[in-house]
Amino acid sequence: MHPLLTTKEVAEFLNIHEKMVYTLVAEKGMPATKIAGKWLFPRHLIEQWVENNTINFPDPGRPLASNQRLIVLAGGRDLLLDTAISLFNRTYAGHLAVFGHVGGMGGLRALRANLCHIATSQALPEDEPDPAVPDQTRPSAPRPVAITFCRRLHGLLVRKNNPLGILSAADLGRAGLRLANRPLGTTARRLLDRELQRAGIAGDGIAGYHHELADHLDVGLAILAGRADAGPGIEAVAGNLDLGFIPLCWERFDLLVAGDIVAEQSVQAFIGLLQSEPFKEAARTLRGYDLSLTGKIVCHKG
Among candidate residues 52, 72, 90, the one where a domain is terminated: 52
> What pLDDT is stored for residue 136 in this prediction?
44
Residue 37: give the domain boundaries.
4-52
- CB-based burial of residue 241 (10 Å sphere; 0-12 exposed, 13-18 middle, 19+ buried)? middle
Domain shared by 284 and 194, yes or no: yes
For 14-31, the pLDDT digits (tens) are 988 888 888 888 877 788
Average pLDDT, the chain: 87
Nearest residue to 84 via CA among 116, 110, 132, 118: 118
List beta partners, residue 35. 38
| Pair 133, 229 in one domain | yes
C-beta neighbour count of 242 within 10 angstroms: 10
CATH number at residue 113: 3.40.190.290
Q: How many domains does the chain fold into?
A: 2
Element (H, E) at 216: helix 216-224
pTM of the full structure: 0.76
57 has pLDDT over 60? no
* Residues 90 and 36 grouped into a single domain: no
Q: For residues 11 and 113, state if they share a domain.
A: no
Residues 32 and 120 both lie in one domain: no
- pLDDT of 240 higher than 50: yes
CA distance linking residue 14 with residue 282, whole number of Å: 48
Task: Clarify whether residues 204 and 254 are in a common domain.
Answer: yes
Task: Give the model's pLDDT for residue 236.
Answer: 97
Are 142 and 259 part of one and the same domain?
yes
Q: What pLDDT does 110 receive?
A: 92
- Which amino acid type is present at position 267? V
Does 58 reside within a domain?
no
Report the distance separating Cα 98 and Cα 74, nearest Å.
Answer: 8
